[in-house]
Structure 1
């Protein structure tokens, strides 16, 4: 049994090392708010690829991915792998397009305002912030649960330690600090993950021992024809694709890369790497069910599939292996937490020139750092009350699946108006919500308010996620087809400018012609 003293010592030492690296690298390199939130054209191909991999690989891959595998089997493995690969491939096409038509951009929300107008902007801002905030809370929940389960460390201690240390170096160094620490973290994550899985399989008697344990416990987990598993696997593809289209993380890195070729190449490498890593991580859940006491009925008070991999470690491997997995989990959560801190603060900071009267660079930098602190404190508070990382993600994913396609479709056509994009998003959200198994009895409450007209929730999540994505996509394509609007996409490069450049034409930096876009 790993003691809390050893676990906390490991955490503090690791967090201190990366904090020193982040601050040391960014010292003297953050001279403006542009440097803080964009690090424009500064990342080479290797660093861009590393940060794309590390930014995805949060502690959730040791918690929600195995949880999905434990619940739905091999189909969830395939679904998670494909689902995580597709957004990376999509951004290999979207990234160069974004740099081409908005060369001086910073965030997806400033694009939404300039392209679609105020109403769609407000909706996208709300959804994007909620998605990334829930993602952040899920990460802190995950690492807190892991340390609590393995070493008995109270959740609040782990959450505050991780959130506090990461806040120090991201608040100081911004995106530059995040990218350099991501690079080092990625070099640790891959070998640690592979070694952890290999050592666990060896300790369980090799591949044959693992297979026998699964077949004896629940053979349906290995059945590719298991219908609930197939439905869940397909649902994951829709959920992850839609949600990642609303993730400011990728927009930041598109601009941080040193060229469009770097963006395309790095996202393609991440397509393969992230897909394979998720396959491996989700398999851990199936292995855990076959070789540990995993309770997969969520209605049960003993439900513990959210810590399936750590249940597997208990008593099956040596203490030093458990410590290695804890180190892996800590590095994973840091790689994602610093990314999300930066992404959330950059969203609002990029909008401040439009909201404030001619703010100077110092004001913008203070605003960015203050917002990072607020986000960190709120996420830590939420993480102390959450129970399932997977279900935290699903609430956020529902929002993304409804908004993702209408948002990015405007990069390729001028025929989609702001009203049509917003209407399409709301249609998708309404369809998805009708089938979504909301927690805390919310679905029953909504059904009661609507006079019992809602259909039964889909526990495999296929209908809510596929319904939201396909409904919003279909509505977007139809409305753009019949629309008479014609927005000139070349105007985006004039409406969205660097934060250290003065506004021109007597307007603000993100002023949009709303009579055209709305």
Structure 2
């Protein structure tokens, strides 16, 4: 208890030192003043989250090195975004959000639609984080899950509401330094004092788990997971905000590249923990810590900590896990609030800076409440993220990427692409999940690939229709002249 309270006081001190945001530009983009160390640390802290910590340990336990290979698709995505996309995004003038960028490239209607999608997906991602935070806090205090969710979301919303992006980034960097050091040390501790055997025994466990995972996973599912991890988190609003808030284009590029490289090492550590857990703990131990109706893979890491660490160390590591979750949650709350203000409210009314700041703060609270309410519907961390991935990639990426790279993107193409991608993805998810009762990971290919294809085809159709229409109008004008 003392360890938890001490860490909470320290985190609060860091958040207070970050200062209250007094302008909307400070709330949304920290006045575009973030140095490389904060961009890198905040990106890493944001993406690590519960999926890439708790979730990856559970998958390492279940399928060995299979998920390490899948995770590398995410690492590649970060590096590619850093090299080719983030610099182009940062070069745009006056952008606070992805919606702003899409609005500059297309028109205001496209910006509003992108804003609606961004806010909805931020709330969905935040619900997954809230669920994970509730699981960890419940393990510490034995509280009901709903009250644990409210505590985690409430504390995160408090400092994010007043401090904005700067408070989010500075606390993220602090939390990143804590878990980037402590979790690898924990792996070494378990290997030295609890794991039976050396490198040969580890290789044997890894081989056995990987073979089991490959045998149990259809090829189409592996392909779909690779696509989901390659595209599903590409420039989601919190990442885009980091790119836009960096001091320079160079910092934006290098921050993403470094974060991508770090993720390779992080995934290796998390999967290794899952493999080690196969030898150190038993399935009945994990089941004993898993609440009824929840996936046991989400509780492998908690069980491993409890079985191998002294009481103070166990409490500290649980607090570190909460900090990992809060790092992702605060970024999502801030990004969703900024998108709501900049992309949905501002296009309809001329807001003064003070009013925009108030709207952003209010939106932070509303999105936090929505995430807390939605957390009860999340059964598994990885599955929850896969659903968000399956919607985000087709809804936004074709219009965004093509718009950044071609000279004259057509507004109709952007509208049709975002609409088709969103509608097809949501329709397929509802069909497979609620009507056919399919497994999320198995059906992800039947969602993300057709939805991406629909979004691209809709973009091509919209571009062709509007281009032809413009050419016909020019021809008529020439004839009249």
The TM-score, its normalising length taken from structure 1, stands at 0.79
- Find the counterpart in structure 2 of residue 379 from structure 1: 371
**C-alpha distance in 2 between matches for 1:134 and 1:89:** 25
1:324 alignment counterpart: 316
Q: Which residue in 1 is equivalent to 2:403?
A: 410
Contact 1:220 1:226 in 2 (8 A): no
Q: 1:142 to 1:444 in 2, by over 3 A?
A: same
Residues 1:304 and 2:314 aligned together: no
Paired residues of 1:81 and 1:276 also in contact (CA < 8 A) = no
Q: Aligned match of 1:133 in 110, 113, 123? A: 123
Give distance in 2, aligned partners of 1:95 and 1:476.
25
Displacement, 1:141? 0.9
Larger mean Cα displacement after TM superposition, 145-154 or 289-298: 289-298
Instruction: Look up the match of 2:388.
Output: 396
**Residues 417-426 or 241-250, more deviating:** 417-426
Per the TM alignment, residue 210 of structure 1 is displaced from its structure 2 partner at its CA by: 5.6
Q: Tell me what 1:17 maps to.
A: 10
Q: Which residue of 1 aligns with 2:85?
A: 94
Q: Following the alignment from structure 2 to structure 1, what is the Cα–Cα distance between the partners of residues 244 and 203?
A: 49
1:78-107 superposed Cα distances (whole Å, 9 cap, x missing partner): 10132244134314421211122x221101
Aligned equivalents of 1:129 and 1:281: distance in 2? 30
Q: Which runs of 5+ in 2 are unaligned?
A: 469-481
User: Equivalents in 2 of 1:155, 1:209: separation in Å?
Assistant: 40
**Alpha carbons 2:114, 2:418 under 8 Å: kept:** no
Equivalent position to 2:154, from 153, 164, 167: 164
Mapping of residues 464-503 of structure 1, within 5 Å: 464=446, 467-468=449-450, 470-472=452-454, 474-475=456-457, 478-479=460-461, 482=464, 485=467
Pair 1:419–1:290, CA change in 2 (3 A): farther
Q: Hey, what does 1:451 align to over in structure 2?
A: none
Name 2:473's counterpart in structure 1: none
**2:310 counterpart of 1:339:** no
1:45-64 alignment, distance < 5 Å: 45-64=36-55
Of the three residues 163, 166, 173, the one matched with 1:183 is 173
Mapping for residues 77-476 of structure 1, pairs under 5 Å:
77-100=68-91, 102-117=92-107, 120-149=110-139, 151-202=141-192, 203-208=194-199, 211=202, 214=205, 219-222=208-211, 226=215, 228=217, 231-245=220-234, 247-294=236-283, 303-351=295-343, 352-356=345-349, 358-403=350-395, 404-425=397-418, 427-428=420-421, 436=429, 441-444=433-436, 459-461=441-443, 463-464=445-446, 467-468=449-450, 470-472=452-454, 474-475=456-457
Tell me how far apart the structure 2 counterparts of residues 95 and 147 of structure 1 sit (CA, whole Å). 35
1:286 to 1:129, Cα distance in 2 relative to 1, 3 A? farther
Residues 377-435 of structure 1: per-residue CA shift (max 9 Å, x gap): 22222224533212211221110121222322111114543333343445555665676
Q: Is the 8 A contact 1:85 1:275 kept in 2?
A: no
Tell me if structure 1 keeps the 8 A contact 2:232–2:392.
Answer: yes
CA distance in 2, matches of 1:430, 1:355: 24
Cα displacement string for residues 432-451 of structure 1 (whole angstroms, at most 9, x for unaligned residues) = 56765878x51328xxxxxx
Unaligned 5+ runs, structure 1:
1-5, 446-455, 487-518
Kept in 2: contact 1:175–1:342 (CA 8 A): yes
Cα distance 1:231–1:69, how it changes in 2: closer, same or farther (>3 A)? Answer: farther
Q: 1:462 to 1:69 in 2, by over 3 A?
A: farther
Q: RMSD of the TM alignment (CA)?
A: 3.4
Q: Matches of 1:458 and 1:394 in 2, distance apart?
A: 8
Tell me the SS of whatever aligns to 1:106.
coil
Task: Give the match for residue 511 of structure 1.
Answer: none
Q: Secondary structure at 1:244's aligned position in 2? A: coil
| Paired residues, number | 462
1:368–1:459 CA distance, 2 compared to 1 (3 A)? closer
